[in-house]
Amino acid sequence: MREYILRRVIYAIFIAWGVFTLTFFLLRIGPSSPADKYLATLVAKGENVEELIAAVEARQGLDKPLYIQYLDYINSLLHGDWGWSFSTSMPVMELIKIHWKYSFQLILLSMLFAVFLGILIGVYSAVKQYTKADYIATFFSFIGISIPNFWLGIMLILVFSVKLGVFKTYYDTSLPMFSLANLKALVLPVITLGTGSMAAYTRYVRASTLENLRKDFVRTARAKGLPDRVVIGKHVLRNAMLPVVTIIMFDLSGVVFGGAYLTEIIFGIPGLGQISFNAIFADDYGVVVAVTLIGALVTLFFNLITDIAYTYLDPRIRYE
């Protein structure tokens, strides 16, 4: 097991390097420059554009040859220096340290919401297969999967914040993280981000539970006269979770970098999503590379966790 983990870690470093290199060169070979975003206003105001572009690029060291920039970058990364973010004027790592928690709380709560409700509804739906409750659950889960989350977010704000005044129209970062007020402020964002996943998990859990309900060991357990609660809670659920864990892990990357970003924009949450996408638009490549790299590492980490979780959930799986 230990050797297996070590191998995976080395492998993860290799993949991280691949992702890093790919991102770096993608950014640097593109025709855009960090000065671009000023050009619109500068041209409008009749300013000396060429001089300004030269000044901006000189300041960021972009006038050096590409391979030197690449080697310099790797060198400073190895020394633990993630560089300076020119579009926000602070060290890249500090920027990420400040903002990751906004994404983290949103994603964590959304996943809890999605997993908890997804499993609950999914199992219930499976147990009550072909009843009215099952049909309703199925129908709504389809709606949940199909509704574009940015659309849902806008609608929720329009109804609950503007018309009904129940919630604030934007997320307030001055709220203490562990407070009821913060939890309340996150209700709409969590629904916006979590609904799609929740609906998807409902589908998977239902299917997976149904499959397991037909298995022999369930029949045996039932034949033994164990109450449904025990059969489902102990035998079915545990086995049904196996594929669901994979799905959740697989979904996570999309949630973090897709849905979370859109949700952050709509609710004005200054999370990593906003930070990284603004960095893209600002050609702030230090931040883009760092975020991509971290995203990749997190994904790799969760993959590893999934694999390990498998060995516990399913004793038949062993890694040598």
Shortest Å distance, C-beta 210 to another protein: 9
Q: How many residues bind another protein (CB under 8 A)?
A: 95
Shortest Å distance, C-beta 83 to another protein: 11
Q: Token pair for residue 76?
A: 């400073």
Q: Does 173 bind another protein (CB under 8 A)?
A: yes
Helix (H) or strand (E) holding 148: none
Q: Token pair for residue 187?
A: 């209700």
3-state secondary structure of 131: coil
Q: Does 129 bind another protein (CB under 8 A)?
A: no
**Cβ-based nearer residue to another protein, 41 or 224:** 41
Q: Does 66 bind another protein (CB under 8 A)?
A: no
Q: Does 69 bind another protein (CB under 8 A)?
A: no
Of residues 6, 76, 220, 254, which one binds another protein by CB under 8 A? 254
Report how far apart the first and last C-alpha atoms of the chain are (Å, whole number): 6
Give the footprint of another protein on residues 86-115 (CB under 8 A). 86-91, 95, 98-99
Q: Are 286 and 94 in contact (CB under 8 A)?
A: no
Q: Are 267 and 191 in contact (CB under 8 A)?
A: no
Helix (H) or strand (E) holding 85: strand 84-85
**Cβ-based nearer residue to another protein, 68 or 230:** 68
Shortest Å distance, C-beta 3 to another protein: 18
Residues with Cβ within 8 Å of 51's Cβ and at least 6 positions away in sequence, in order, are: none
- Angle 231-232-233 (CA atoms, 0-180°, nearest 5)? 100
Of residues 103, 110, 125, 274, which one binds another protein by CB under 8 A? 274
Of 108, 140, 107, the residue nearest 122 (C-alpha): 140
**Cβ-based nearer residue to another protein, 120 or 280:** 280
Shortest Å distance, C-beta 121 to another protein: 16
Shortest Å distance, C-beta 281 to another protein: 6
- Tell me the C-alpha to C-alpha distance, in Å, between residue 99 and each of 16, 30, 136, 180, 258: 22, 27, 39, 20, 17
Alpha carbon distance 285, 245 (integer Å): 34
Shortest Å distance, C-beta 132 to another protein: 15
Give the footprint of another protein on residues 130-169 (CB under 8 A). 138, 142-143, 145-148, 150-151, 154, 157-158, 161-162, 165, 168-169
Binding mask 217-246 for another protein (x = CB under 8 A): ------------------------------
Mark the segment that binds another protein (CB under 8 A) among 114-122, 227-235, 237-245, 257-265.
257-265
Binding mask 45-64 for another protein (x = CB under 8 A): xxxxxxxx-xxx-xx-----
**199-211 b/e (C-beta count within 10 Å ≥ 16 → b):** bbbbbbbbbbbbe
